[in-house]
Amino acid sequence: MSKRIALVTGGSKGIGRELCLRLKDDGYQVYSASRSKSLPQGMDGITQISIDFSNSLETRAFAEKFLEQNGIPEVLINNAGYGVFYEWSEFPYEEITRQIQVLFSSPVELCRIFAPAMAEESRGVIVNLSSLATLYPLPFMPLYNAGKAALSSFSQSLILEYQHTLAIIDIRMGDVCTDFNNTASKQKHDSPIMRRSWLQIDRQLKSSISPGEAAKQIYTSIKLGKSGTFFGGGWFHSKFLPNLYRILPLCLLSRLILQWYK
């Protein structure tokens, strides 16, 4: 019997790496797609595909070639992403296009290629990793917030369309202790208010759950095989904040966010 195929974008580190390892241990033939040329130690048995998801044509060609060479994946996880921390007046023009492409357009293009093929077999799971930032936006990261919110909304639409043939999962993940902050593009000459906000974001990240725990939560939703929106992270992010969003008026939530990030 041929192995089940799993494709994870951004699978060379952080949450993506942990998901690749879990899928491999569960018997999947795992492919990691990211900008990395090779995988780090400890990822034996996983195939690395080097691709730049900021390039639309390259993304589309990759998906079509993957189908032709490897077949239809049973699991697709759109996990690749990165942050850009700038005042809007200083936000680099090239990062506007790049953020939208990596965080939203590339997952959409992959879903356009893979979802119909998976639905024809009436099996499979697509996981789109969005963020709690869809409800609680991060300061000075407007395109990250917008890209994740758009991906979440896109997932809701696919859930309606593929309710009988394919599981579409929207994971609104809270903070996870990865190197996200270390790899984010940052404004060099920041202001005091930016500095205070960044310190708070950094504290949140360092005190949050591990990538392994986040991957465990995501994998639990995959094993359920049902479409839906799931909140991930520690108790504060996965339980308290989503419920708070349901009961507080938006004006109060905005004040809380301003006070939280000082």
pLDDT in tens, 94-150: 999 999 999 999 999 999 999 999 999 999 999 999 999 999 999 999 999 999 999
Q: Which two structure tokens, joined as six digits, stand for 169? A: 């999962």
pTM above 0.75, yes or no: yes
Q: What is the mean pLDDT of the chain?
A: 96
Q: Quick: pLDDT tens for 186-221.
A: 999 999 999 999 999 999 999 999 999 999 999 999
What are the distances in angstroms from CA 98 to CA 92, 94, 229? 10, 6, 26
C-alpha 174/C-alpha 236 separation (Å) is: 9
pLDDT at 1: 44
Please give the full DSSP string across 146-162, using - where no structure is assigned: HHHHHHHHHHHHHHHHT
pLDDT at 240: 97
Going 219 to 101 to 149 to 154, the CA torsion angle's sign is: negative
Contacts of 151 (CB under 8 A, 6+ apart): 78, 103, 104, 107, 108, 128, 130, 170
- 3-class SS shares of the chain: helix, strand, coil, % to 5: 55, 15, 30
Contacts of 250 (CB under 8 A, 6+ apart): none
Q: Quick: pLDDT tens for 104-113.
A: 999 999 999 9
Amino acid at 38: S
